[in-house]
Amino acid sequence: ANRKFHPDDSIIDCGHGVLLGGGFFQVIAGPCSVEGDNLIRIARRVKAAGATMLRGGAYKPRTSPYASQGMGEAGLDLLLEAGSELDMPVVTEVMDPRDVALFLDKGVDVMQIGARNAQNFPLLREVGKTSTPVLLKRGMAGTIDELLMAAEYIMSEGNPNVMVCERGIRTFETRTRNTFDLNAIPAIHHLSHLPIVADPSHATGHTRYVGPMARAAVAAGADGLEIEVHDDPAHAWSDGAQALTPDMFDQLMKDLLRIRSIV
């Protein structure tokens, strides 16, 4: 992952002709959880607004074991159907090394490693044995160096297709869900050739802060954004408090164009 060994920025081929990194900027959008029929409606809206990749969790890492754990395999199927209908690569979280083979079988385009698994070394090694792109999130209390070493676990198994993601870190501040470490964007670019995606949804935890932090991340040079969008946030299975509605997402995409052109 060290730029010393690879001076040029890595460009990751995410499938469906979508490249990320080295000047190729992409927006990943969709609901926190795949919930059912609303997925395709949300997906159509985010695509129309300019998102180029579709996200949605089928296996959810929830704090409480009694909270919805996601749709599982049926959720993967819905997500992949939407991705194929709209010709968009899909990004979805894998939590268990035993599920990696299923994700590959189904044709998941990008496997997300969530913040809670950022140092789950057996999981990192397992996705490292594939050639499928990985979106690796920063741990809840992970340093930038720990994030890059986690990327190294994946790459050392032979998979060079790693994108890292700044999604906020836990600090003493409680007003926001996490503290968005904008510094991570230039720091990762300095230290590593890997692309860095910013996730202002989890970084802030509040719908109203997502837009400003998305704009800040783009201004700071992020290679991509991951943003949660839901058409009925009040009834979302997870993370409704930080979801943008499709209309808000549309407006944000227009605002981003004032900062950079969207590939």
Among 45, 47, 137, 177, which residue sits at the site for ligand PEP (rule: CB under 6 A)?
Answer: 137
The region of 5-13, 19-27, 113-121, 209-217 touching ligand PEP under the rule CB under 6 A is 113-121
143 close to 168: Cβ distance less than 8 angstroms:
no
The region of 24-32, 71-79, 110-118, 186-194 touching Mn ion under the rule CB under 5 A is 24-32
* Phi, then psi, of 36 in degrees rounded to 5: 145, -140
Element (DSSP H or E) covering residue 211: helix 207-219
Q: Is 31 in the site for ligand PEP (CB under 6 A)?
A: no
Among 1, 32, 127, 214, which residue sits at the site for Mn ion (rule: CB under 5 A)?
Answer: 32
Element (DSSP H or E) covering residue 218: helix 207-219
| 22 or 57: CB nearest ligand PEP | 57
Closest CA to 158 of 132, 134, 180, 130: 130
Q: Is 239 in the site for Mn ion (CB under 5 A)?
A: yes
Tokens of 76: 């993967």
The region of 7-15, 112-120, 182-190, 248-256 touching ligand PEP under the rule CB under 6 A is 112-120
Q: Is 244 in the site for Mn ion (CB under 5 A)?
A: no
Q: Is 230 in the site for ligand PEP (CB under 6 A)?
A: no
The region of 41-49, 71-79, 109-117, 144-152 touching ligand PEP under the rule CB under 6 A is 109-117
Say which entry of Mn ion, ligand PEP, none residue 97 contacts (CB below 5 to 8 A, set by partner kind): none
Q: Is 199 in the site for Mn ion (CB under 5 A)?
A: no
Q: Is 39 in the site for ligand PEP (CB under 6 A)?
A: no
Report, in Å, the least distance between residue 192 CB and ligand PEP: 19
# residues contacting ligand PEP (CB under 6 A)? 9
Distance CA 20, CA 86 (A): 18
Q: Please, what's the largest Cα pairwise distance for the chain?
A: 47
Closest residue to ligand PEP, Cβ-based?
114
Contacts 24+ apart (CB under 8 A), 45-50: 45/229, 45/231, 45/246, 45/249, 45/250, 46/229, 46/246, 46/249, 47/86, 47/88, 48/250, 49/246, 49/249, 49/250, 49/253, 50/253, 50/262
* Beta strands per DSSP E along the chain: 12-13, 19-20, 26-30, 53-55, 90-93, 110-113, 134-137, 162-166, 196-198, 224-228
Q: Is 167 in the site for ligand PEP (CB under 6 A)?
A: yes
Say which entry of ligand PEP, Mn ion, none residue 170 contacts (CB below 5 to 8 A, set by partner kind): none
Binding residues (CB under 6 A) for ligand PEP: these are 32, 57, 61, 114-116, 137, 167, 202
